[in-house]
Structure 1
Amino acid sequence: MAPLPGSGSLGNGQQGPAPPRPLRARSSSERFISKFRTFVKHEAEKNKSKWKTMGPAKVAVPSPNDFLQKHSKEPKLAPRKKEQDGKKEPALSVPGRTYRPVIRIKKNFININALAVIKGVPKKPRHFCVDSRQGDKYLLEPSGLVPKYIKKKDYGVTPKYVTQRNEEIRREEEEREAKVVEELKKRAMKHLSDEEKTSILQALKKKWEELNREFQCLPVLTDTRYKKMHKAEVEMKLKQLEHDIEALEKHKWIYIANE
């Protein structure tokens, strides 16, 4: 295959890099020109200020007729309206015959003050307390050295809230004590009267006699397990009855616990 024009070939059959192409100059007609170029140029010329930093080239000279006149800067009242809301203002009327103008009477303040001082109550002297030899003093009443609080009517009286609190505490203690007494009464042992003690003794002795008769009726030969167990049970009941009868007869007062 023949090599392409403009391309090089090496001896080993490989093709080398192509040589650079010459640059072609572009004409001015081929360059990109924005369609807003004229508009932007016009806006830039329009907003441009030639005296932006130096000020205007010419300053208007004030006219000689516009000089500062006298009292021109003083505030002036608005001109009075002849008609207001379509109504004419009433004309100034002449005062009537019964009108009496208020006459200001000049008071003699010196005499008034003198009478007030003569008739007034003299001020009480204020007590001071001097606490240094240089004459440093302060009012005695607000210092706390005057015993004025002990002269109050309610001095030494127990406040109401303290009395109310003590009453509540006492009531709570009474309720607690009543509950404790009630619990103790419930748990207290019952005293056995003489009649009940006698009847219980008679019943125990009668039961003992029945068990003793049953024990004597038992066979002499206990060759079986049942006979041995029955004899041991009867003996145990007899011992328990004898213990109870002895305890009732020994003690004078008997108490029974409530279960």
Structure 2
Amino acid sequence: MSEAVYPPESVYNSFPKTEVQTQKPQRYISKFRPTVILEEKANKEAMRTMGPAKVEVAPPDQYTKKHFKESKLAKKTEPSKEFCHSCTVKKPPVPARTDNPPMGIHTKRDFIKTTTLAPMKPLPTCVDTSKGHKQLLENSGLVPKYIKKKDYGEVPEYLLQRNEEKQRAQEDYENYVKEQKEQGAIKLMSDKERQALLEGLKNNWDKLHHEYQGLSLVTDTLSKKAHKERLEAAMKQLEDDINLFEKFKTIYIPNH
């Protein structure tokens, strides 16, 4: 058998222990409880029977007949003879076939004709792709709407202004050249001098180009790179001068 396990001995265990009783707080009761109970009883008393307590019962001689609940129309009353003969004004006679129709009278049919709108016509469209993608024909560029403008075929104002400025600059240049000629400051280069100068420029370009072709393919030093750039700049300058002398055949030079 297993030995019993006792608590350790202590002096405090010899004193009697007092039980502490906890007092619960009083339960909350609403102040509207009696009113709610009375309302609930009153509602239950009214619904103890099936339906209303008192139902009006029809007498035996007024039993339900066929078509009793269907609504009935009021009986049609014939107008009296006095009412029929009360109208003394007669309608105008029917116009003859030869009479002219009255002018300026608008009937209901005329009002309908004037108020009704014409059916809307579909806008013209242009189909672009085989899948049915479409757009308005006016925005597609196929409608020649620009030729209908008032200023179609006329030179724009900015071009007229540019031409006037160009002509004014040419006149100023011609006046300047004329003044310099009169003062003897410039003279016209002859065709032989221009051709000789042009041939000299081309010969110089050929020499530089021959020297440029003899450069090494690898520019691994700074001196080679600087020499190559110097030859390219000189050839470019000679090309610009050659184009200038070939383009303008009338050249003025200062008179020293």
- TM-score (ref. length: structure 1): 0.28
Greater relative CO (CA pairs within 8 A, separation 6+) = 2
> Highest Rg: 1 or 2?
1
- TM-score (ref. length: structure 2): 0.28
